[in-house]
Amino acid sequence: MRRILAGAGGIEVVGEAGNGLEAVRAAHALRPDAVVMDLEMPGSDGYLATERIMAECPAPVVVVTSLVQPDQMGAAFRAFKVGAVGVFPKPEVPGQWEELARTLPATLREVGAEHRRGTRRTATSTATEGGPGERLHTLAIGASTGGPGAICELLRELGRGSRARVAVVQHIAAGFEAGFAEWLRHELGVDVRLARGGETIPPGAVRVAPTGSHLCVDPEGVQRLDPDSPPVGGHRPSVDALFRSLARGSARGVAGVLLTGMGNDGAEGLLELRRAGAFTVTQDEASCAVFGMPRSALERGAADLALSPREIGRLLAGRVGGDP
């Protein structure tokens, strides 16, 4: 791990720790821009260490774990509850090390830079045409780094009684999407599953895009999985693909939500949604792990508002009607 990060460029490894307690002490002493954390360690584990670091000397924590089997996913996603912003599988074969060497440094550079910049609350704009006064029946949510925790916060505020159909694209390491859906189902007590082509999203249900396929949803809530179209901005599933599918024709009654994440996926699609009559909102800078995707949307004039995930959930909860 040290060799991968030190050789990646733009990253300096300032310390190492053999267990959670040592990690907390090192974070206090070294004040790093980001922390890479295992979960299963002797003595003090990674959950407690992450929780203490976030409470005592906050720094973005990215988890690398061997808890990747279906019956272990819930344990891996517990890390998001205590403040982790990303999760990656611990490599077991050379090809997986190569993939980690490609993806982990980019995440650490981005969250580290965001941490150095600090948080600055973004001014919210006034809702305009297609704004929050309109009754909503379909919610489309896109997120990347830091997204699992933000999505969970938003949907918790939306409430179990919501009758909106919810489609989610979350950039996540391959193999973790099923665990993410299971974790959300456990945390929220609602119908959360991986999306299936041809299924109509039931009212009140949440569907998560599987790795390797774009998720498209028509105005009636029918899902289509597209594994053949090329990645958009390097992503398949892409947030842009989801948003654009709902922007075809009128998007009245639709809300597009773009949350924390690197890059600009979703920004153009959110703008198309807004132009089609949807209500559009981004996560604000102060609550983002990485402000890249929301920033890109706001720069394009694609969002009616910028709020925290909890504020977004409360706002949408008041605008969701009965059966769509």
The interaxial angle of helices 147-158 and 73-81, nearest 10 deg, is 80
Rounded Cα–Cα distance for residues 253 and 221 (Å): 12
Closest by Cα among 239, 243, 295 to 265: 239
| Annotated catalytic residue, options 137, 171, 214, 235 | 171
C-alpha torsion angle, residues 119, 123, 127, 128 (rounded to 10): -120
**Phi, psi at residue 91, to the nearest 5°?**
-65, 145
State the CB neighbour count (10 A cutoff) for residue 31: 12
Q: Which residues of 108-119 are buried (b: 16+ CB within 10 A; e: fewer)?
A: bbbbbebbeeee
144 labelled catalytic? yes
Q: Are 25 and 51 in contact (CB under 8 A)?
A: no
| Annotated catalytic residue, options 38, 265, 284, 304 | 265
| Annotated catalytic residue, options 33, 115, 144, 245 | 144
115 labelled catalytic? no
How far apart, in Å, are the Cα atoms of 80 and each of 75, 209, 220?
10, 19, 33
235 labelled catalytic? no
Active site residues per annotation: 144, 171, 265
